[in-house]
Amino acid sequence: MALHMPPSHARRRRRLKRAWTTCRVVSALSILLALIIAAGSFLIHDRAVRLAWWTLSGGLLLISGLAWGAAWWLDHMLDRSFRRKKASGGVLLLVLVMTAVLALLVAASFAFIHVQALAAARSLERERLLVTASWKVRAVAGNLPRIISRHPLGDFPAEDEVTPDNISLVTQITDLSARFDINNLTAQNISKDIRTPAAILTDLLTLCGDFQSLERVEALKDWVDPDDQGFYESDLYLKQNPPYRCANTFLRSWKEILLVKGFSRSYFAPRRRSFPREAFQADPFQCLCLIPTARTRPLPVNVNTAPPPVLTAILGLSRQDAARRITETRQIRAYRNLEPIRVFLGTEFFRRVSPYLSTRSSFFEITARASRGSAAAGIRALVKLDGDTLHFLRWQEIP
């Protein structure tokens, strides 16, 4: 004899089945969408957008867990009276395992979100420090004429200060006109009776302890000159791995010099020398600079701020006494013009080196480092001072 369920019980059972099916579908779709969103977030480079995607993925996992729990509860209500006791324990264990897995996924999502939030906070703090440092550079650049008048010999002290926002700032000015610019090798309008930039650079590298400087200077000349006539042109570098060509224009950075034959990081690294004290001990970074601009004439060196090796290289290795006399005289009083130097050098020799000499500085490097707590950032600007007019030639973020 067949048993029939009362109509009210049948309707209730159908509603529970529809709810059970809906919960299962919602749980499965939520897991699928969460996995798709989590996988797609790795293709996004914007941290804020990636963080939003991971938040959405974690929310979907939470919804999936709730829907799965609701489906299990409905299933238990529907079939409780027909289940075997030994089977109910297995279902409960499966539900507990799934719940634990979902809980771990949700916890991992929130942990990842927390890490991303910390990274975003660090990035924001670094941006604030960079803005503060850049404004400090602009402020110092605006006061350059006054600072130069107070320190005519280029001995600019580092400036330390703390802003109202508790940001520590350290600012340093470097007189690049005190150094010989390697890009003077690109100058073309030089008469035959003037010392060549290559000869000066060769002597300067010799004073830095390099006794094979002639070959390196030739390689630099071939790198920056516009033609392909030379031993160190593109044919040589095309054999490298990976191959590359000569720039055939002025140097833009110190990293570019490392591409030139004969130069490497170890070449510029500090090293002990076996020569008498102060002989061939010059530091290349204190004597050389790179002004990334095209020119037809060489950029002059400020005789009031140039170190002795630079003056010696310009005048020639045989005229170290003249370079020493310039450095001793400027300690008493800074040169306002080149007439005293012309007098003791002689008019004929002075004409040979005068394009490389000046009594004013035109190029400066201003560095500002900002720090607060464990965060730090810095920025460096290359500035050209033309009378009372300032030109920012390059901004560079530094570690």
Number of H helices, E strands in the chain: 14, 9
Q: What kind of fold does domain 179-358 have according to CATH?
A: Ribonucleotide Reductase Protein R1; domain 1 (1.10.40)
Lowest mean pLDDT among 26-35, 76-85, 129-138, 258-267: 76-85
Would the pLDDT of 7 be above 60? no
Does the pLDDT at position 307 exceed 80? yes
Q: Which residue has the higher pLDDT, 295 or 103?
A: 295
Q: What tokens appear for 2 in the block?
A: 């067949």
Quickly state the pLDDT bin for 82 (edges 50, 70, 90). very low
**Residue range 223-250, pLDDT digits in tens:** 999 888 888 888 899 988 899 999 999 9
Report residue 282's pLDDT band, with 50, 70 and 90 as the boundaries. confident
CB 134 within 8 A of CB 128: no
User: Quick check: 123 pLDDT over 50?
Assistant: yes
The number of angstroms, rounded, from the C-alpha of 33 to the middle of its chain's C-alpha atoms is 39
For residue 332, give the amino acid letter.
I
Phi, psi of 75 (to 5 degrees): -65, -40
What mean pLDDT comes out for the span 72-100? 58
Per residue in 153-173, pLDDT (tens digit) is 999 999 999 999 999 999 999
- Check: CB of residue 171 under 8 Å from CB of residue 366: yes
All CATH 3.30.1300 domain ranges in the chain, comma separated: 126-177+363-398
pLDDT tens track for 328-352: 999 999 999 999 999 999 999 999 9
- The number of beta carbons lying within 10 Å of the beta carbon of residue 172 is 15
Closest CA to 195 of 354, 358, 359, 360: 354
20-65 confidence digits (pLDDT tens)? 777 777 777 777 777 777 766 766 666 677 777 778 777 877 887 8
Structure tokens at 98: 């799934």
**What is the per-residue pLDDT for 107?**
67
- Is the pLDDT at 83 greater than 50, yes or no? no
* Residue 64 pLDDT: 78
Max intra-chain CA distance, the chain: 134
**Among 3.90.580, 2.60.40, 1.10.3470, 3.30.1300, what is the CATH number of 126-177+363-398?**
3.30.1300
* 3-class state of residue 212 by DSSP: coil
Using CA atoms, how far apart are residues 288 and 207, in angstroms rounded to an integer?
A: 12
Percentage of the residues of the chain whose pLDDT score is greater than 70: 83
- Indicate where the chain has its CATH 1.10.40.60 domain(s): 179-358
